Chain A
Amino acid sequence: MDFELSEEQVLLKDSIDRFVKDNYGPEDRIKLSQTELGFSRDHWKTMAELGWLGMAFSEEAGGFGGGAVETMIMMESMGRGLVLEPFVSTVLLGGALVAEAGNADQIEAIIPEIIEGNLMMSFGYAEAQSRFNLNDVETTASKSGDGYILNGTKAVVYHGGTADKIVISARTSGASRDADGISLFIVDSNAAGLDIRSYATVDGQRAADVRLENVTVPASALIGAEGVASPVIEKVIDGAIGAICAEAVGAMAAANEITNEYLKTRKQFGTAIGKFQVLQHRMVDMYMEAEQSKSMSDMVAMKLDLGYADDTRKAVSAAKAQIGKSAKFVGQQSVQLHGGMGMTDEYSIGHFFKRLTTIEMLFGNTDFHLNRFSNL
Chain B
Amino acid sequence: MDLSFTDEEVAFQSEVREFLEANLSADVKDRYSRGIHFSKEAQERWQRVLNDKGWLAPNWPVEYGGTGWTATQKYIFAQEMGRASAPPPMPFGVSMVAPVIYTFGNQEQKDYYLPRILKSEDWWCQGYSEPGSGSDLASLKTKAVRDGDDYIVNGQKIWTSHAQHANLIFCLVRTDGDVKAQEGISFLLIDMNTPGITLKPIIGLDKEHTLNEVFFDDVRVPISNRIGEENKGWTYAKFLLGNERTSIARIAQSKLRCEHLREVAAAERVNGGLLQDDIDFMRKLNQIEVDLMALEYTELRMLSKIEHGETLTAEPSLLKIKGSEIQQRLTELLVESLGMYGAAYEALEVREGRNDQNFAPDYAHGPMAEHLYLRAATIYGGSNEIQRNIISKMVLGL
Interface residues of A (CB under 8 A from B): 36, 126, 128-129, 131-133, 136, 153, 155-156, 176-177, 196-203, 207-209, 211, 267-270, 273, 276, 278-279, 332, 335-336, 339-340, 342-346, 350, 353-354, 357-358, 361-362, 365, 367, 370-371
Asked if B305 CB lies within 8 Å of chain A CBs, one says no
Q: Is the beta-carbon distance between B379 and A336 smaller than 8 angstroms? A: yes
Q: List 8 A-B contacts (CB under 8 A).
A: A156-B344, A176-B272, A199-B347, A208-B358, A209-B360, A267-B132, A276-B385, A339-B134
Q: Is the beta-carbon distance between B340 and A345 smaller than 8 angstroms? A: no
Q: Nearest CB to that of B340 among chain A residues?
A: A156
- Inside 8 A of A339's CB, which chain B residues have their CB? 134-135, 379, 383
A-B pairs, 4 with minimum CB distance: A197-B356, A129-B269, A268-B136, A209-B358
- Inside 8 A of B6's CB, which chain A residues have their CB? none
Interface residues of B in 332-364 (CB under 8 A from A): 335-336, 339-347, 351, 353-361
- Inside 8 A of B211's CB, which chain A residues have their CB? 340, 343-344
Knowing A335-B375, A343-B375, the reply to whether A136 touches B271 (Cβ < 8 A) is: yes
- Inside 8 A of A350's CB, which chain B residues have their CB? 205, 372
Please measure, in the bound complex, the distance between the C-alpha atom of A183 and the C-alpha atom of B210, giving whole angstroms: 48
Knowing A155-B360, A332-B375, A344-B204, the reply to whether A361 touches B340 (Cβ < 8 A) is: yes
Please measure, in the bound complex, the distance between the C-alpha atom of A23 and the C-alpha atom of B342, giving whole angstroms: 29
Q: Is the beta-carbon distance between A131 and B375 smaller than 8 angstroms? A: no
Knowing A156-B341, A279-B385, A336-B378, the reply to whether A345 touches B205 (Cβ < 8 A) is: yes
One of B132, B135, B136, B205 near A354 (C-beta < 8 A): B205
Q: Is the beta-carbon distance between B343 and A203 smaller than 8 angstroms? A: yes
Asked if B368 CB lies within 8 Å of chain A CBs, one says yes
**A126 vs chain B, min Cβ distance (A):** 6
Q: Is the beta-carbon distance between A362 and B340 smaller than 8 angstroms? A: yes
Knowing A128-B359, A209-B358, the reply to whether A336 touches B375 (Cβ < 8 A) is: yes
One of B339, B346, B388 near A131 (C-beta < 8 A): B339
Q: Is the beta-carbon distance between B375 and A342 smaller than 8 angstroms? A: yes
Q: Nearest CB to that of B132 among chain A residues?
A: A267
Q: C-beta contact mask, B184-209 vs A, less than 8 Å → 1, else 0?
A: 00000000000000000011110100
Q: Nearest CB to that of A360 among chain B residues?
A: B336
One of A126, A155, A196, A367 near B281 (C-beta < 8 A): A367
One of A156, A199, A269, A371 near B280 (C-beta < 8 A): A371
- Inside 8 A of A270's CB, which chain B residues have their CB? 136, 139
- Inside 8 A of B379's CB, which chain A residues have their CB? 335-336, 339-340, 342-343
Number of A-B contacts (CB under 8 A): 153
Please measure, in the bound complex, the distance between the C-alpha atom of A200 and the C-alpha atom of B343, giving whole angstroms: 9
Asked if B219 CB lies within 8 Å of chain A CBs, one says no
Q: Nearest CB to that of B338 among chain A residues?
A: A361
- Inside 8 A of A36's CB, which chain B residues have their CB? 353-354
Q: Is the beta-carbon distance between A155 and B271 smaller than 8 angstroms? A: no
- Inside 8 A of B353's CB, which chain A residues have their CB? 36
Knowing A345-B205, A365-B336, the reply to whether A200 touches B355 (Cβ < 8 A) is: yes
**A215 vs chain B, min Cβ distance (A):** 16
Please measure, in the bound complex, the distance between the C-alpha atom of A129 and the C-alpha atom of B136, giving whole angstroms: 49
Q: Is the beta-carbon distance between B271 and A344 smaller than 8 angstroms? A: no
Interface residues of B (CB under 8 A from A): 129, 132-136, 139, 158-159, 202-205, 207, 211, 268-272, 280-281, 335-336, 339-347, 351, 353-361, 368, 371-373, 375-376, 378-380, 383, 385, 388
**B207 vs chain A, min Cβ distance (A):** 6
Knowing A155-B359, A340-B129, A343-B205, the reply to whether A202 touches B342 (Cβ < 8 A) is: yes
* Main SS class of interface, A: mixed
**B131 vs chain A, min Cβ distance (A):** 9
Q: Is the beta-carbon distance between B375 and A155 smaller than 8 angstroms? A: no
Knowing A131-B271, A176-B272, A344-B202, the reply to whether A126 touches B280 (Cβ < 8 A) is: no
- Inside 8 A of A133's CB, which chain B residues have their CB? 270-271
**B206 vs chain A, min Cβ distance (A):** 8
**B4 vs chain A, min Cβ distance (A):** 40
Knowing A268-B136, A344-B203, the reply to whether A155 touches B341 (Cβ < 8 A) is: yes
**B73 vs chain A, min Cβ distance (A):** 36
- Inside 8 A of B268's CB, which chain A residues have their CB? 131
**A198 vs chain B, min Cβ distance (A):** 5
Please measure, in the bound complex, the distance between the C-alpha atom of A194 and the C-alpha atom of B45, giving whole angstroms: 44
Knowing A128-B359, A340-B158, A344-B211, the reply to whether A201 touches B204 (Cβ < 8 A) is: no
Q: Is the beta-carbon distance between A131 and B385 smaller than 8 angstroms? A: no
**B278 vs chain A, min Cβ distance (A):** 8
- Inside 8 A of B345's CB, which chain A residues have their CB? 201-202
Q: Nearest CB to that of A35 among chain B residues?
A: B353
One of B339, B354, B372 near A361 (C-beta < 8 A): B339
Knowing A131-B271, A346-B203, the reply to whether A153 touches B359 (Cβ < 8 A) is: yes
Please measure, in the bound complex, the distance between the C-alpha atom of A270 and the C-alpha atom of B356, giving whole angstroms: 49
**A241 vs chain B, min Cβ distance (A):** 14
Which residue of A128, A270, A342, A370 has the most chain B CB atoms within 10 A of its CB atom?
A: A128
- Inside 8 A of B380's CB, which chain A residues have their CB? 340
**B129 vs chain A, min Cβ distance (A):** 7
Please measure, in the bound complex, the distance between the C-alpha atom of A367 and the C-alpha atom of B385, giving whole angstroms: 29
Q: Nearest CB to that of A337 among chain B residues?
A: B385
- Inside 8 A of B135's CB, which chain A residues have their CB? 268-269, 273, 339
Please measure, in the bound complex, the distance between the C-alpha atom of A197 and the C-alpha atom of B359, giving whole angstroms: 8
Please measure, in the bound complex, the distance between the C-alpha atom of A336 and the C-alpha atom of B324, giving whole angstroms: 13
One of A136, A208, A340, A346 near B159 (C-beta < 8 A): A340
Q: Is the beta-carbon distance between A358 and B336 smaller than 8 angstroms? A: no
**B82 vs chain A, min Cβ distance (A):** 25
Q: Is the beta-carbon distance between A200 and B271 smaller than 8 angstroms? A: no
Q: Is the beta-carbon distance between B136 and A361 smaller than 8 angstroms? A: no
